[in-house]
Amino acid sequence: MHHELALFVMPNHTGTEALAFMLRWVHLLAGITWVGLLYFFNLVNVPFMKQLDAASKPKVLQYMTMPALQLFRWSAMLTVFVGFWYWAQIYVAADAHRMGVGAGSTIGLFLLIWVAASMILYFVISKTPSGYVLGAITAVLVCAAGWLFVNYTPVGQDDNHVLSIGIGGGLGFIMLFNVWGIIWRNNKMIIRGTLAGTPPANAAVLARQAFLASRTNFFLSVPMIFFMAASSHYTILGR
């Protein structure tokens, strides 16, 4: 009888463990939504929109594209916000506590490197229509940013969780900037203008920028997912 009752005893968790579980679960659900929509836009929606006639396009834009973009941008925000919280509190802060130092230096370095990289890439996408040039600059930029973080982070230099998420999460920051700063903003102007019958005069430029930002995110999602998964499933940096 006691053995049977023992099967129904709930496991005990500390507050930190419960928080980690909730943050990770929300992060995974939001991330699946974000990346799933990213792949939908790039692999399905782009070729689909090219096949629409002028009469069909407004209804698709109003009832499919805009709602999908809303879900896309907010799932991106939730993914990055919750993931950053999880990484900073569960891994960086824990390592800093063991080392007897503060976690702010590593968190600050992470933000400095990846926000700067995001702003540089935003400038490049705004100025060049060439996908090949953008791809080359993006590759150099993210490699340099990742190298800087791994080699100069004050806390967690031997911790695969801190380092791998420090790269994967950094790529997520770039992708978030692209979503809110270019993909959402440009498409919103184009769609609202089209539905109102007054598309913006520079609609072609806005559409090209949004396309390049979306394709950049599409390709960055591959190393992003790799490094996020490697934090727990493949010790590639630290231990």
* Residues comprising the chain, all counted: 239
- Number of domains, the chain: 1
Task: Please report whether residue 70 resides in a domain.
Answer: yes
121, 177 contact by CB (below 8 A)? yes
User: According to DSSP H, which parts of the chain are helical?
Assistant: 2-6, 15-40, 46-50, 57-60, 66-86, 93-99, 104-127, 131-152, 160-178, 184-195, 203-233
Q: In this predicted model, which residue has the larger pLDDT, 239 or 201?
A: 201
Domain span holding position 73: 14-233
List the one residue out of 70, 72, 107 whose CA is nearest residue 221: 72
* Dist. CA 234–CA 239, nearest whole Å: 10
* Dist. CA 116–CA 119, nearest whole Å: 5
- Report in angstroms the alpha-carbon separations of 72 from 37, 105, 147, 167: 6, 32, 29, 22
Confidence of residue 53 (pLDDT cuts 50, 70, 90): confident
Task: Please report whether residue 4 resides in a domain.
Answer: no
* Dist. CA 76–CA 64, nearest whole Å: 18
Task: Please report whether residue 3 resides in a domain.
Answer: no
- Interacting residues of 149 by C-beta distance below 8 A, sequence separation 6+: 109, 110, 113, 114, 163, 166, 167, 170
Cα 116 off chain centre by? 15
Task: Please report whether residue 131 resides in a domain.
Answer: yes
155, 92 contact by CB (below 8 A)? yes
Q: Please state the rounded mean pLDDT for residues 123-130.
A: 91
From the CB of residue 33, how many other CB atoms can be counted at a distance below 10 Å? 17
> Is residue 71 predicted with pLDDT exceeding 60?
yes
Q: Which residues of 180-200 are buried (b: 16+ CB within 10 A; e: fewer)?
A: ebbbbbbbbbbbeebeeeebe
* Dist. CA 37–CA 111, nearest whole Å: 26
Question: At 202, which amino acid appears?
Answer: N
List, for residues 138-197, the tens digit of each pLDDT value: 999 999 999 999 999 999 888 999 999 999 999 999 999 999 999 999 999 999 998 988
At 14 the pLDDT is: 73
Mean pLDDT across the chain, nearest whole number? 91
Task: Please report whether residue 132 resides in a domain.
Answer: yes
Task: Please report whether residue 30 resides in a domain.
Answer: yes
CA atoms within 13 A on the CB side of 25: 6
Task: Please report whether residue 116 resides in a domain.
Answer: yes
Q: In this predicted model, which residue has the larger pLDDT, 86 or 128?
A: 86
Task: Please report whether residue 45 resides in a domain.
Answer: yes
